[in-house]
Structure 1
């Protein structure tokens, strides 16, 4: 049951003044509650202003700087109305002791203007000043008040992120009403920690952010922001810890086979395992031997050999008579996994099957019968297949590849497909430690840090687009030497048509300059067309592949040795690093050419420098986090950290560690959240939408 103290905050936003059904829809889109449900008062309150307008600045007309927001005490002069049907603006002159200013209006009603700005009277006007031809003007002032009403204008006004169709004043009015509903909460923070930090209580912190007194109040390191960020992180870490405790109690199966099947897989490899691969296999084997369920994240840089580790540990589970599943995010990747592990499975005697969306009903039915009969040991397919109706005779372990958005809920659903299913999640996006805590706080982590033997480092250079012809010439001589080349063009979602034209144009230019056929892959092509272009490139029918970033993850062409990334300044670091990992997979030296269009901004310049200096994905991920915040690394576009409204991975990393330790301690001392602090923490979990965890308490 939700604590009754929270009821006012869980009322829909349409109960607030000025918010009808239409505006409620806009607000829901803006404050991002759950899909298909109206936003609540709490959702609105967690929509924090990003800056503020200070209307205390009153310099006088002549001393107002261009672009400043100022408040002026003026006498209104004459009105200059445009002729009828003219598109010209309506202008009103005004002056004070220091000079003259023009107020400019577009599409405004004349009667309203004459009433609001009466000629010859004194008014307090506030807005943004712009100097145009050495004269100051103010387009659509924000306020115009009689001197005796001046107190109605807020001295400091918070500025909120808005959406089309929602006026700032509507939002502010609703926010004011929402703040009045804030109840007095019991304190859920540890008393000693609260005294040490000197933070305000939750309600005071929230009120201050919505009515800041100074710019500093909205900084990530202000006590108000820190307090709320910590509350949000604590709710998240506590929920993850509860999910994990629940997974543990659901009981796993201790799997301790002789290890002969695992040895058979390792012996079938054409190379020796690296030290970190051996360690990861050992860690996973230890997890499998425990009677609790495994939840482990396997992080390995591009080309660190994660699939081998996954297959070796799946063999361990298959030897006990259970089945395994390997899930990939796309069909191309699923097929590739299948192709790369098939020879190893055949040598070790593991019965392997591939399931994709292309299978006919008949093929799918046959596969399903084999799975139910236990005639398939390991099935490879896309995520979608496993979320559907596929069943197993005895599913023991699932490996989820490259899916950051594969959250706690999907993992719980998946584990329901068998008894005590062990889960291994693999990712090639090196995730900084702070983000591992936020998104995978309920998992143990293994890292593959060394590259397989024989891999050469990739030489990276950045070259201005002005030297395009020279680069095309070099590509020509490389393919004459039998090398293969990727040529990547960026894709900016807003202007897909322009980019598509750019990719096709580049494809034509290269075919013409190199005098041979060049493969082309982009997002608008059908799966068949993409597969055909890829296989031409793989088999060597074509030596150059022009592509948008669809080749980013997992495409494997060992004899490709050069990758050219056009407009490299448009890509994020993690993405550049992923793309670069498409080459350097064989034993030949490889290179990556970053083509940029100058002049470069500071961040873009920093990115290209880091790429030239290091091949270490983990180092790159930490730098990437500093340059642009955590959201994009995990493919969630909002600023800040996935699923968070206030906390930011780059700014509040230290708080994350504290919240994690705090959550563990709470569950050790009060697993049912029954104490006085425990009851308060239940409020916190509901407040930040982590109440699914509370249901686990009841279920467990």
Structure 2
């Protein structure tokens, strides 16, 4: 359905431009602009019962009892007051700077008033919404849509109703009747009506269930079609695996690491090119597994590329891999944005003629000058920092190479399949041998003296310390610790043993500071969240997070993961003077667990799927009504349904599935993903 918005009365070019900001370009889009919440005005209270609901939003059915009175108050603002009531009592309503309300609220007229209730001398409501009631009409459940400047709820509700009459009622249902019956789903037209114009809560929930199921099913069918397209003939088969890389390690791999390596090597030996996600919590040992994958490619005569999200991490990977692979007879190279043109040119030449077998870099690897002799493996580290298209752009440097993406964002397997559905999944569980659980504490500023003594003890015992601040510079508008202010404070006490690193510094200064910290010459590194991803300093034993309330749970978990990477006991201290109960509850929850999956689930619940999955799903269709945090049951059921359909009809070619295929193609084509 591609009916233009001009078919809706009241939508001209200017309003079409406003709707475009909400992602609405057609009548179909308007029907899929789902309410993000509802106002249940059907639960009408008599005035005599209102005193038990102070501070809540309430719905009343009341008649205007007096002529609205207008007067000017401080600042020239217009104040309008009016008395309304029902058979059980009366209350006062107040409106500010609303010159139209007096003409609307005429004495004797009956309205449904909805808004927050308070008490002054009498019961009172400030600027409640007012909907005039016809004889016998009852208040209902009103949808509340996302807005942009220049649009109102009343306009959107009217336009959606027109869209439904134009296109919603007569929609052909894309889900086969047998599937609807099996999963007890409403027809699509009825579901749209129930979601946009619910007659009661039961109808609303049934309508939402149908549309959520459909969205999740189409998403997973699309990923199934996409992954079939991605299954290319294996152009870079791996041969014998001799274990030489493992023998260079000073540790024994964990069972989880061994299993992941086996899965990767099986893929690389198989009939199709590998497309695999390696998911593991912070500190679970993903880098070692990546090294094994790279060695498998190199020892079979191919080149490999590792793309990291930051220059610091790329250089760290290079420092780890270079000596290991040189012992095995393979040349490694580094390619990052801050390198001089002459240095980059030398790398370009060595990659093209095969002189460099393993290259580690940042987005610089995507430059058009980068050409490989025979790129057999692409590894994208910290996948959530790259979009699907960036990953594909690097893979395009070769002829369908193997792809391994790594993520330290621990999310449940079912959700991972939603986010990275085009990839097979390996999960690293537990920590490498010898690593202890990090002890985490929440304190306020009154503990600073005790914390200073604890820092000195850690340094005397040979440990190093990270201190993370939310700001680079002091800001008078907010009382937050900054990197620069703390640097001055601690350098006065510890001199050159303190350094700083933040995103505004140029690459060479960041590299110098990080190198000094890694080498142990710097004992205290003050930083912003630039160190969040992947930095590995086994000697670091204490992480201090200033103004911890400013960070999300998953971000706190990533930062905590910078310590505890050696055999010494490590600590994480959160400093917060927040008095907000929910904030303190969130931070205390973080202190009580080091389980990344539990923390990610909690973060998902608190932040909502939009924020949590925003970066992860870059390049894939966005959810319009489904919520991966709250719709887990439907996510699981729809995943099972999608698998059954794909097993029976892998390309959705049967007549019963044809309309689903059309809908899926439309959904993914909007995001630049084709299935042919």
Q: Under a length normalisation based on structure 1, what TM-score does the superposition of the two structures give?
A: 0.86
The correspondence for 1:81, drawn from 34, 52, 71, is: 71
Cross-structure match for 1:3: none
Deviation of 1:294 after TM superposition, in Å, equals 0.5
The correspondence for 1:105, drawn from 95, 107, 117, is: 95
Cross-structure match for 1:654: 633
- CA distance change for structure 1 residues 472 and 600 in 2, over 3 Å: closer, same or farther? farther
The correspondence for 1:282, drawn from 262, 266, 281, is: 262
Cα displacement string for residues 180-201 of structure 1 (whole angstroms, at most 9, x for unaligned residues): 2226444443544422432201
Q: Is the 8 A contact 2:305 2:379 kept in 1?
A: yes
Deviation of 1:404 after TM superposition, in Å, equals 2.0
The correspondence for 2:505, drawn from 514, 525, 537, is: 525
Q: Is the 8 A contact 2:472 2:484 kept in 1?
A: no
Deviation of 1:541 after TM superposition, in Å, equals 3.7
- Write the distance in 2 (CA, Å) between the matches of 1:658 and 1:129: 39
Cα displacement string for residues 389-408 of structure 1 (whole angstroms, at most 9, x for unaligned residues): 52212111100110225444
The correspondence for 1:553, drawn from 527, 533, 536, is: 533
- CA distance change for structure 1 residues 406 and 54 in 2, over 3 Å: closer, same or farther? same
Query: How many matched pairs?
Result: 668
Using the TM superposition, name which of 66-75 and 502-511 deviates more.
502-511
Deviation of 1:78 after TM superposition, in Å, equals 5.5
Cα displacement string for residues 53-99 of structure 1 (whole angstroms, at most 9, x for unaligned residues): 34445545554444423231122236233279733523345566555
Q: Secondary structure at the match of 1:296?
A: strand
The correspondence for 2:187, drawn from 189, 201, 208, is: 201
- Write the distance in 1 (CA, Å) between the matches of 2:643 and 2:68: 70
Cross-structure match for 2:660: 681
Cα displacement string for residues 142-180 of structure 1 (whole angstroms, at most 9, x for unaligned residues): 3364x7x56789633212232343211122122112222
- CA distance change for structure 1 residues 18 and 547 in 2, over 3 Å: closer, same or farther? farther
Cross-structure match for 1:257: 239
Deviation of 1:425 after TM superposition, in Å, equals 0.6
* Pairing 1:307-322 to 2, within 5 Å after superposition: 307-322=287-302
- CA distance change for structure 1 residues 475 and 185 in 2, over 3 Å: closer, same or farther? same
Cα displacement string for residues 389-434 of structure 1 (whole angstroms, at most 9, x for unaligned residues): 5221211110011022544444444433222311001112222212
Using the TM superposition, name which of 316-325 and 152-161 deviates more.
152-161
Please say if 1:291 is aligned against 2:281. Answer: no
- CA distance change for structure 1 residues 43 and 477 in 2, over 3 Å: closer, same or farther? same
- Write the distance in 2 (CA, Å) between the matches of 1:608 and 1:547: 23
Q: Is the 8 A contact 1:577 1:611 kept in 2?
A: no
Cross-structure match for 1:126: 113
Q: Is the 8 A contact 1:317 1:396 kept in 2?
A: yes
- Write the distance in 2 (CA, Å) between the matches of 1:450 and 1:54: 47
5+ residue gaps, structure 2, are none
- Write the distance in 2 (CA, Å) between the matches of 1:454 and 1:141: 62
Cross-structure match for 1:247: 230
Q: Is the 8 A contact 1:77 1:95 kept in 2?
A: no
Deviation of 1:649 after TM superposition, in Å, equals 1.7
Q: Is the 8 A contact 2:68 2:102 kept in 1?
A: no
- Write the distance in 2 (CA, Å) between the matches of 1:345 and 1:497: 51
- CA distance change for structure 1 residues 357 and 152 in 2, over 3 Å: closer, same or farther? farther
Cross-structure match for 2:446: 466
- CA distance change for structure 1 residues 384 and 213 in 2, over 3 Å: closer, same or farther? farther
- Write the distance in 1 (CA, Å) between the matches of 2:261 and 2:105: 77
Deviation of 1:575 after TM superposition, in Å, equals 2.0
Deviation of 1:21 after TM superposition, in Å, equals 3.7
RMSD of aligned residue pairs (Cα, Å): 3.3
Cross-structure match for 1:667: 646
* Pairing 1:264-279 to 2, within 5 Å after superposition: 264-279=244-259
Please say if 1:323 is aligned against 2:311. Answer: no
Q: Secondary structure at the match of 1:404?
A: helix
Deviation of 1:511 after TM superposition, in Å, equals 4.2
* Pairing 1:500-579 to 2, within 5 Å after superposition: 502-511=482-491, 518-579=498-559
Q: Is the 8 A contact 1:434 1:649 kept in 2?
A: no
- CA distance change for structure 1 residues 499 and 175 in 2, over 3 Å: closer, same or farther? farther
Q: Is the 8 A contact 1:285 1:313 kept in 2?
A: yes
Q: Secondary structure at the match of 2:566?
A: coil
Deviation of 1:48 after TM superposition, in Å, equals 1.9
- Write the distance in 2 (CA, Å) between the matches of 1:665 and 1:212: 32
The correspondence for 1:27, drawn from 7, 15, 19, is: 19
5+ residue gaps, structure 1, are 1-5
Using the TM superposition, name which of 59-68 and 291-300 deviates more.
59-68
Q: Secondary structure at the match of 1:688?
A: helix
Q: Secondary structure at the match of 2:409?
A: coil
Q: Secondary structure at the match of 1:344?
A: helix
- Write the distance in 2 (CA, Å) between the matches of 1:395 and 1:414: 10
Deviation of 1:326 after TM superposition, in Å, equals 0.5
Deviation of 1:207 after TM superposition, in Å, equals 1.5
Cross-structure match for 1:179: 164
Cross-structure match for 1:162: 147
Cα displacement string for residues 539-584 of structure 1 (whole angstroms, at most 9, x for unaligned residues): 3343222222221111122211111123334433322221111111
Q: Secondary structure at the match of 2:447?
A: helix
- CA distance change for structure 1 residues 687 and 259 in 2, over 3 Å: closer, same or farther? closer
Q: Secondary structure at the match of 2:222?
A: helix
Please say if 1:231 is aligned against 2:214. Answer: yes
Q: Secondary structure at the match of 1:577?
A: helix
- Write the distance in 1 (CA, Å) between the matches of 2:412 and 2:511: 33
